[in-house]
Amino acid sequence: MDSGTKPVHLIADDTQEYVAKHNRGREPCTWLRNELLAHAYARIWDLPTLEGAFMRVDPGHVGGQASTFCQPAYFKHTSFATRYRRDSTEFNQFLDQLTYHESKRFHNRQDLLKIALFDIWLANEDRTPGNPNLLVTADEQGHTIRVMDHEHIFNSNGIERPLSLLTLEDSILTHPALRTLLGKEFNKDTGMATNLVADLVPLAQACEQRTDEILSYLPADWQVDVATFTPLVRRRLFAGEWLRDVGQHFHELLSRC
């Protein structure tokens, strides 16, 4: 689902390039809240991300990139930004020009399955085969797959309602890259899937332990009601029944790939 929150590419006071996201000037800034939370959780899961930062964007600097989805007025709040890397390529674009030799240089290809499990757990509807919201960067150890864009966790920002499990069509498990990078029968490797699901509870527990700290970083001008949001996060993401359902559903989706 497209929220229309087109980011802006800019150079910050530290002379580094960033991509800054906004909330279309709306309050509370729930899309940005989701971005921050998922970015922090991804790092706990040891999923590569781009470096994140809070940033105040001068609306006057947005004029050259203004569009229906990117207006100066949208930047009245603190932005959530990630470092821009010139060596990064959008995942689908990278695959379009992928050679056999280059396909062997992915050092974290197994993370694709972990990302699929991460998305089911967060009810992330912001990553699909058509729009995987992944970047590929060139690093010393090889090509790195990095996650980005998580505005639509909690079933498209609906944390007030019980979460629904992603459909197969909404999961990155059906992306053709998985067979290219993991093998044609990747979905039959039950050992790998079992190990990932076994890690789900300890990873979720690690996220739960850090949740209060993460939410303490929310900028005041986002006007997020942390007192209401925090118990909802705990109820939706860390309940034993939800974690069991997520693990079982991951196995089920794999069997249907």
pLDDT for 60-99, tens place per residue? Answer: 767 655 566 667 788 899 999 999 999 999 999 999 999 9
pTM: 0.94
* Secondary structure class of 186 (helix, strand, coil): helix
| In the predicted structure, residue 1 carries a pLDDT above the cut 80 | no
Higher-pLDDT residue of 8 and 142 is: 142
Taking a C-beta distance cutoff of 8 angstroms, is the pair 127, 95 a contact?
A: no
Q: What is the pLDDT of residues 140-186, one digit of tens each?
A: 999 999 999 999 999 999 999 999 999 999 999 999 999 999 999 99
Which amino acid, 47?
A: L
Closest CA to 117 of 52, 185, 177, 45: 45
Whole-number pLDDT of residue 6: 78
pLDDT over 60 (residue 46): yes
8 A C-beta contact, residue 1 and residue 125? yes
What pLDDT, on the 0 to 100 scale, is given for residue 74?
86
Cross-strand partners of 142: 139
Give the pLDDT of residue 69: 64
Residue written as tokens 């085969």?
129
